Structure 1
Amino acid sequence: MPETTCNTSESLAPTPLPAPHAASDGEQIIELFQTLSRSTVWEKIASIPFEGDTFEPEGMVRLGDDRYIISCGDYTERTKKYMNGEIIDGTDRTAGQGFAHLMVYNGEGERIADTVITKEGEREYHNGGIDYDGQFIWGTVGQYRPNSTAYVYRTDPTTLETVKIIQHADHLGGIVCNTWDNTITALNWGGRHATTWDLDDAKASGDVKPTSTVRNPSHFVDYQDCKWLGYSKLYEGKSVMLCSGVATVGGYNLGGLALVDVATMTPLAEVPIALESSLGVRLTQNPMDVSVEDGKLRFYWMPDQHTSTLYIYEAQP
């Protein structure tokens, strides 16, 4: 079991667990996404301060209005760039130190639990984006530097018990779980490549080889947190994920959302997001989830480090 601190006797997750996007509102999200543009009017529904130090939030899974699971990175020693742009063992910076956390909050922003899923001294401590398949939370923990190592894990949201599933010889960040094909796809540093594994192979062997690795042809934004939406009728049966992210372009921090073909990483639809937190951080920086409320797309973002607020915005017709 992980080291878990609980601040209440409340359950960690609702019973029964909700259906994932692919089995509930995935196609509706895809259809409503087609209405988004640079001129979309966004209405703020709520801004909810989250209790305690949230470190660097990386991913979010919303299990209904009253439960949010957040993946976070706690950095006790910052990485440092090598001098003169030197590359050592394929990477450009020191390993640093820290811990990967999973935190549970209720709809009022009260912290229900804080779980540390790594051990002191481990080089892999950077928690990435997370996804939910209706039974498990799926995430990645990697070194906090490119061209390094990482692993895929799954967590039972009712207990926060975490199991390492796949080891990989590169950094991993965002992740989605395709429950229909029983595959996992994870993105490397900056979302430049997507690697897919067959989970049936993971059960049969400790040395799991990827079934594919594809290059991301889009340089719009670096995907931070993604959610699998299922196979879309609108996109002729393609496996589609929704991704949120940022990119610094000419000194400007650009935010954006994209529907992406998981198999090829080809963007199917993209929209820039200019919204900022009260601290001036682009809302699409890291954690994201989505729902459909009264026929409107509602997004959940938590961009700020340490002192974090959950921002809920709805796209107006």
Structure 2
Amino acid sequence: MDALASLTDRFREALAALPAASEQWVMGTSSKINASALLALLSSVAPLVPAVTNNITLYHSGVPIAPSPLPPPGASSQGEEIIRQFIGLDRSTEWNLVAKIEFEGDAFEPEGIVRIGDDRCFVFAGEWTVPRSNSNDGEGFGRVIVYDGQGKRLADATITEAGDLEYHVGGIDYDGTYIWATLSQYRPNSTATLVRMRPDTLQPEPMLRIADHMGAVVHDLSTGNLLTLNWGARSASLWNLNYKPAIPPAFTAPRAVIKNPSHYTDYQDCKFLGHSQQYGFCPVMLCSGITKLYGTTIGGVALVDMESMVPLYEVPLTMVSDNGVLVTKNPMDVAIVDGRLRLFFLPDERNSTLYVYEPAE
């Protein structure tokens, strides 16, 4: 009876969230959320929030998971120089492969990556135990794997439980204190939970629930704004935790939903670069991804206005991994190293290699 009462209470709370989650601001106009998302809201009552887990394997005793103190976020602290060098690129730019680092062990399907300092890579990955198909969403686990700068595996944490509906992880961002990520059902028009995690604990902290599938997330620390991208990055949702979110399991309505005006590529992983003087101090992020058009897969990286989703500068990339996969397929990070722009890609699944590129002089 206690379990039934608890389930009833959770269902009532989910129903109470319907009015808040059913109307959203889309490009300045009121728009009803689609019926499939509302059905997903009702169908996902249990489990409603990813279970907090601490299933961590440490591979090297005495070696810290994260630097201490935590360094500032590389992308946003170097944002203006990253932008300055990036807008000097074009489709004829030649790229030099400056490093190729094999990551130890099984990296599953990498979805997001951040470099924290010069000697730590945090990879959010999906382990698929039952493959997804047209008839089912599959099963699996969200994982975080930590590597050093030489690709040695330091730690591996499972951040979802067996049977969780929301086990698909997306692109990630690091703000100097937390790594931000989403855990979603593995299908469009479903549900997601926004989480944050301290790099030194690998403990996910649920922040709010979302009535749609979400992938990449970006955090503007100066304003508190968070942007999440839905399936295929066809739209973005804007959040701000300075405004009290609904208490899970209720869904929080986004402050805005912004249609993506670009169909050039589906963004997989994005990094916040700050408020750029180059672009009138608007918030800018760097996003990478691929898309399939007319039987051809193309990849690219773009500077994107976080408030409007308008691409500010786009560069196609044609480099492939040793397995023939476009390097922009999965996660990406960016930095200025020795005064030069570097892009970091982890395209391959299972046996993964980090490809590090610089534009040729």
TM bracket, shorter-chain basis: over 0.9
How far 1:74 moved relative to its partner?
Answer: 0.4
Relative distance call for 1:280 and 1:119 in structure 2 (3 A) is same
Farther-moved stretch of structure 1 (267-276 vs 73-82): 73-82
How far 1:22 moved relative to its partner?
Answer: 5.9
How many Å separate the matches in 2 of 1:188 and 1:29?
A: 26
Matched residues, number: 306
Query: Secondary structure in 2 aligned to 1:27?
Result: helix
Q: What code does the residue aligned with 1:179 have?
A: L
8 Å contact kept, 1:96–1:123 = no
93, 98, 109: which is aligned to 2:140?
98
Q: Which deviations, in whole Å up to 9, do the C-alpha atoms of 1:251-304 show, x marking residues without a partner?
A: 211010000001110000000000000000000011110111233210110000
Unaligned 5+ runs, structure 2? 1-52
8 Å contact kept, 2:208–2:246 = no
Relative distance call for 1:240 and 1:130 in structure 2 (3 A) is same
Corresponding residue of 2:44: none
214, 218, 224: which is aligned to 1:176?
218
Query: Secondary structure in 2 aligned to 1:285?
Result: coil
Matched, 1:274 2:318: yes
8 Å contact kept, 1:165–1:202 = no
Corresponding residue of 1:240: 284
Matched, 1:300 2:314: no
Corresponding residue of 2:270: 226
How far 1:21 moved relative to its partner?
Answer: 3.9
How far 1:169 moved relative to its partner?
Answer: 0.9
Q: How does 1:19-58 map to 2 (within 5 A)?
A: 19-21=72-74, 23-58=76-111
Matched, 1:159 2:201: yes
Q: Which deviations, in whole Å up to 9, do the C-alpha atoms of 1:106-156 show, x marking residues without a partner?
A: 011111011000010011111111000000000011111111111110011
How many Å separate the matches in 2 of 1:202 and 1:301?
A: 36
Corresponding residue of 1:91: none
What TM-score does the superposition give when structure 1 sets the normalisation length? 0.94
Query: Secondary structure in 1 aligned to 2:215?
Result: coil
Q: Which deviations, in whole Å up to 9, do the C-alpha atoms of 1:202-256 show, x marking residues without a partner?
A: 4675553211100000001000000001111000011100001001112211010
Richer in helix (by share) = 2
Relative distance call for 1:234 and 1:45 in structure 2 (3 A) is same
Matched, 1:73 2:103: no
How far 1:23 moved relative to its partner?
Answer: 4.8
Relative distance call for 1:148 and 1:107 in structure 2 (3 A) is same
How many Å separate the matches in 2 of 1:192 and 1:202?
A: 26
Relative distance call for 1:232 and 1:134 in structure 2 (3 A) is same
36, 52, 55: which is aligned to 1:3?
55
Matched, 1:255 2:299: yes
Q: What code does the residue aligned with 2:116 have?
A: L
How far 1:99 moved relative to its partner?
Answer: 0.3
What TM-score does the superposition give when structure 2 sets the normalisation length? 0.83
Q: Which deviations, in whole Å up to 9, do the C-alpha atoms of 1:66-91 show, x marking residues without a partner?
A: 10000000011112114xxxxxxxxx
% identical aligned pairs: 48
Query: Secondary structure in 1 aligned to 2:279?
Result: coil
Higher Rg: 2
8 Å contact kept, 1:58–1:224 = yes
How many Å separate the matches in 2 of 1:294 and 1:13?
A: 23
Q: What code does the residue aligned with 1:32 have?
A: Q
How many Å separate the matches in 2 of 1:216 and 1:50?
A: 34
Unaligned 5+ runs, structure 1? 83-93
Query: Secondary structure in 2 aligned to 1:292?
Result: strand
How many Å separate the matches in 1 of 2:233 and 2:149?
A: 30
